Structure 1
Amino acid sequence: MDRLHPTSLHQLPSDIAVPRYERDALRAGIVHLGVGAFQRAHLAVVTEAALHATNDLRWGIVGVSLRQADTRDALRPQAGLYTVAIRDAGEDGAPRETLQVVGNLLDVLVAPEDPEAVLQRIAHADTRIVSLTVTEKGYCHDPATHALRWDHPDIVHDLAHAAAPRSAVGMLVRGLQRRKARGLGSVTLLSLDNLPANGHTLRGLVLAFADKVDADLAAWIVAACTFPNSMVDRIVPRTTAADRERISARLGVRDAWPVLGEPFLDWVVEDRFAAGRPDWAAGGARFVDEAAPYETLKLRMVNGTHSALAYLGAMAGLATVDRAIAEPLLRGYIDALMREEIAPTLPPLPQLDLDAYRARLLQRYANPALQHQTRQIAMDGSQKLPQRLLGSVRDRLNADQPIERLALAVAAWLHYLRGVDEAGRAHEIQDPLAGALAEAMAQADQASQGVADAQAAERRRVEVFTRLTPLFGDLAAQPRFVAAVARGTQALRERGVFGTLQALC
């Protein structure tokens, strides 16, 4: 089978969308750190729509892989072309799929192999936007305080090795340092990660690092760069070998790395761009003066419930999100969690029908065509819980309101950290703080030994574990929080997921 390539586009079936602009004339106006499935199914798709709508060819994308060469190795023989498969189910429940070949990814650089090439691209005259999807852990910060971790090995390395940075923050600052030295113009730094006030957070981290390097550089960044906040939303499951085979068969040529996505796509972004931007509105982006309310909505309603569903579902042996939400007890819990404990913490969004939003979200979770793995969502919990769940917990505690369902979601994470589901199947704890979490668990277990009363022992266990201040901050000192999480962990251990949910109802 031939490879997907510009020279093979004419072979594709007529119902598959392909680039209609003059691809050879594209210039790389966007550098994207963390080129992966989400970026290719979200930012690149919206950019493709802008290119088709305006034919403004300044907005090609150069992707940067921060760790591995697999994306580069798959896509470079295809000249950057890849397929986006949008999957849902028809009224009969059968999966259906529409395909689009995206053409705006011009190259993929691999930072560990050639950090110089990444710095040169950030400092290139064509570059107007540097965007990021590096996940929460990629910011090398404390999730509870949003402060840069000066003891992080990558940050320590990047301060000492200007020409070969490893972290996203280090690459940005060292690239901007070259940009300043060359007398180049302004650039926008755009976070697309699930962080509260992601633009403000990125700005704080970049300026903190830059100030350590050179105070004049930090001042130049303040004057020359903007950091818009944004909210992104699309479920993008991991591509499997079966997906590659199915999509390639439909194309009639081999695509080494297609991506999957749901039909739903949302992007709310502050319209503060230092050197222009594509007409992303053509692809569904919404430009606002302030993105914070939308960020809070998405982090708490979507990401918070996604994590809760993933931990409970994974421990109950439910491999995918659609399987989990199909269980009436889990669906009822997630619905009540949103309605009763999360929704009251949200900022005003006058134009939003929150009941319709909640119903649509449950419908998205039920999409059987995505096969989104609960264990994939369960990764990196230490980096996710502070913004997905603990912000809602704090707001509820401050309002003296119940937190039983939120606390159960936190307890489900602790339950998952056992590393074995309720059927005895082992799973790996994939988390940048895996070692610290295991140590905290051991200390908590030890501290609870010898406490005769089972409930008191569980409270002691949770109290000790929640002293992990980078995650929980001051919540360890909140007796209501500790007691509620302890009730959840004890119930999950003694009754299992479904027994716990039955009692909660």
Structure 2
Amino acid sequence: MSTPLNRKNAALPDSAPVRLVHLGLGAFHRAHQVWYTQKADANWGYASFTGRSAKMSDALTPQDGLYTLVTRSGDGDSPELISSLVEAQPAANVARLVELMADPQVAVVTLTITEAGYHLAADGSLDESNADVASDLAALASDSLEGSLELKTAAGKLVKGLAARKAAEADGIAIMSCDNIAENGPLTAGAVLGLAEKVDADLAAWIKETVTFPSTSIDRITPATEDSLIADVEAQTGFQDNAPVVTEPFASWIIEGEFPAGRPNWENAGVEFVSDIEQFERRKLWLLNGSHSLMAYLGQLRGHATVADAINDSNVRSHVEALWDEAANHLTAEGLNVPGYRRSLIERFENPRIVHNLAQIAIDGATKQRMRAVPILKAELAAGRPGNGAALSIAAWIAYVLGTEEVRDTRASEIEEAKLLDDAPLALLGVLDSELASNEVISTHIKKLVTELS
């Protein structure tokens, strides 16, 4: 009989104090930031909040936050007990988030809330037309940042927490996005400040003076956990773990920015600190994430279910390589080693034991493609080239959306409205980027590709 997983049964000492807070308690956070922190510094504990559902906090709380991280390669599985997540909270517990952010010993807040969770307009500003943003603006303005804890957005919750930190006269804090968004530090600052400036000018000024927003480039393929993993972990470790995570051997974390209240010694675990992260962000976003999105749509259109299936289709692979060729034209900074990075991606994609489902990657494509394929296409067009690889990726998304009855996307209402119009492909291109949609040459080209793919 297996043993329930908790600190007592695992013979672990008391947990580390909470010095890190996280929004977005998912598999990637636990395979990346928590894992790096455990490797780097045992004196830093994470309190992590779910994105929406309380399912993960409900699973982790009886386990004292413990879980097994299974690194899966062609040579087999390597299970590792992770103990740096010391508190798992549901998203609805905003009171605990506010309490922690006011605590002077809490030094860093990290985020994995997906691109859509920042509620940004096309120009990178806070999307005040979004219903959740409007709700939070009204809630925060009506109570002068006191009272109501019924907040829907990450930015709203952060503003509430920062107001409490200011009132407690605590030092500054770092808020660091770990999502796949270019310039994620400035964009996070824009979302938080955009909301704060609407509700409290003094708070916004304090945030500008004392809060930092480091930028990051993160990388580790982490598929959704399947039920079979629970049985595998029980057989391998003897513990009944209801929240294991599976990941690949490769991991990378690059950071640019300051931490006014301190941070773990992440460099001890291999984290790179750089003075200019822009090209590293783009390398990850355009090569890894960009090809993931291309495979998610083109692969499913060709009947594939996983990344490994898609990359082993010569047709799909040729389009991935074409997209990479175009991206590489604009990735020229010293130290990027784009050819080596491309080779490593092929090896990672071909890993037969990492079951990375294309349907999972395909979620929220309207936001993802706006930040992945669209910038590559625009850069190629500006250089006088047609950008056929990026155009194909955009066309694959449009063809996929047109052929999918129910699209899983935070911008689903815009997508469904576009699908009803006479020229639905053009309207869907406009959902991604109005400038591209108004370019008759490129819009005609993409519509032709959509027809060929459908």
TM bin, normalised by shorter chain, reads over 0.9
Q: 1:353 aligns with which of 315, 337, 341?
A: 337
Q: Which runs of 4+ in 1 moved over 6 A?
A: none
Superposition deviation, residue 336 in structure 1: 2.7
1:370 is matched with 354
Equivalent residue number for residue 22 of structure 2: 32
Shift of 1:367: 0.8
Alignment check: 8 A CA contact 2:213 2:257 kept: no
Give 1:438's match in structure 2, choosing from 406, 411, 416.
416
Work out the CA distance in 2 between the residues paired with 1:111 and 1:102: 22
C-alpha separation in 2, matches of 1:225 and 1:329: 48
TM-score, structure 1 length as denominator? 0.86
The aligned residue for residue 82 of structure 2 is: 102
- For residues 336 and 434 of structure 1, the distance between their equivalents in structure 2, rounded to whole angstroms, comes to 29
Give the one of 133, 154, 166 matched to 2:112.
133
1:463 matched to 2:426: yes
**1:66 matched residue in structure 2:** 51
The answer for the alignment partner of 1:278 in structure 2 is 264
Deviation, structure 1 residue 102: 0.6
The match for 1:157 is: 135
What are the equivalent positions in structure 2 for 1:294-333 lying under 5 Å apart?
A: 294-333=280-319
Which letter does structure 1 place at the counterpart of 2:21?
V
Cα deviation per residue 1:28-65 (whole Å; 9 max; x = unaligned)?
110001111110000001000112xxx5x1x2100011
Report how far residue 156 of structure 1 moved. Answer: 1.7
1:5, distance to aligned residue in structure 2 (A): 1.1
- The answer to whether residue 214 in structure 2 is matched with residue 233 in structure 1 is no
The gaps in structure 1 that reach 5 residues or longer are: 11-18, 91-95, 421-426, 448-460, 494-505
Between 1:146-155 and 1:257-266, the stretch displaced more is 146-155
Tell me, in whole angstroms, the C-alpha distance in 2 between the residues paired with 1:366 and 1:197: 29
Residue number in structure 2 paired with 1:496 = none
Per the alignment, residue 342 of structure 1 pairs with: 327
- Alpha-carbon deviation of 1:419? 3.9
* Cα distance in 2 for residues equivalent to 1:214 and 1:198: 24
Paired residues for 1:413-424 under 5 Å: 413-420=397-404
Equivalence for 2:446: 485
SS at match of 1:166: coil
Matches of 1:235 and 1:467, distance apart in 2: 30
Alignment partner, residue 174 of structure 1: 160
Give the Cα separation in 2 of the matches to 1:69 and 1:419: 33
State whether residues 4 and 253 of structure 1, in contact with CA within 8 Å, keep that contact through their aligned partners in structure 2. yes
Q: List per-residue Cα deviations over 1:227-254 (Å, max 9, x = no partner).
A: 1111001100000001111112211111
Distance in structure 2 (CA, Å) of the matches to 1:490 and 1:294: 35
* Secondary structure, counterpart of 1:314 in structure 2: helix
Q: TM-score, normalized by length of structure 2?
A: 0.95
**Would the aligned equivalents of 2:70 and 2:247 in 1 still touch at CA under 8 Å?**
yes
Pairwise CA RMSD: 1.4
Specify the alignment match of 1:9 in structure 2: 10
Please say which structure displays the higher CA radius of gyration: 1
Q: CA deviation at 1:333?
A: 2.2
Q: How far 1:487 sits from its partner (Å)?
A: 2.0
- Unaligned 5+ segments in structure 2 are 141-147
- Count of residue pairs the alignment pairs up: 445
Question: Is the 1:234–1:265 Cα contact (8 Å) retained in structure 2?
Answer: yes
Match in the other structure for 2:70: 85
Percent pairwise identity: 35
What amino acid is aligned across from residue 103 of structure 1 in structure 2?
S
* Whole-angstrom CA distance in 2 between matches of 1:363 and 1:336: 18
Equivalent position amino acid for 1:3 in 2: P
> Aligned to 1:390, which of 371, 374, 377?
374
Q: Judge conservation of contact 1:325–1:366 (CA < 8 Å) in 2.
A: yes
Give the superposition deviation at 1:382: 0.8
Amino acid at match of 2:426: E
- Of residues 115, 118, 121, the one that matches 2:97 is 118
Could you report, residue by residue, the CA deviation over 1:248-288 in whole angstroms, capped at 9, with x for unpaired residues? Answer: 22111110011111111011101411111111112221001
Amino acid at match of 2:116: K
State the Cα deviation string for residues 289-330 of structure 1 (Å, max 9, x = none).
Answer: 121111111111111111001111112111110011111222
Q: Is the 1:408–1:484 Cα contact (8 Å) retained in structure 2?
A: no
Write the distance in 2 (CA, Å) between the matches of 1:489 and 1:361. 27
How far apart, in 2, do the equivalents of 1:332 and 1:438 lie?
Answer: 31
Deviations 1:151-209 (Å, cap 9, x if unpaired)? 22221221222432221000111100011011111100000011110000011111111
Structure 1 residue 464 displacement after superposition: 3.5
* CA displacement 1:94-144 (0-9 Å, x = unmatched): xx11011110111112132x32122111112221101100001111112x2
Contact 1:440 1:465 in 2 (8 A): yes
Which aligned pairs between 1:170-209 and structure 2 lie closer than 5 A? 170-209=156-195
Shift of residue 66, structure 1, vs aligned partner: 3.0
Q: Distance in 2 between matches of 1:432 and 1:190?
A: 22
Question: Is the Cα–Cα contact under 8 Å of residues 66 and 166 in structure 1 kept in the other structure?
Answer: no
In 2, the alpha carbon distance for the partners of 1:333 and 1:100 equals 37
How far did residue 476 of structure 1 move?
1.1
Given that 1:111 and 1:166 are in contact with CA atoms closer than 8 Å, whether structure 2 keeps it comes out as: no
The one-character-per-residue Cα deviations of 1:419-455 (angstroms, maximum 9, x if unpaired) are 44xxxxxx64110111220210110xx24xxxxxxxx
Contact 2:17 / 2:45 at 8 angstroms: preserved in 1? yes
SS in 1 for 2:70: strand
Separation of aligned partners in 2, 1:118 and 1:485: 45
Whether the aligned pair in 2 keeps the contact of 1:265 and 1:284 (CA below 8 Å) is: no
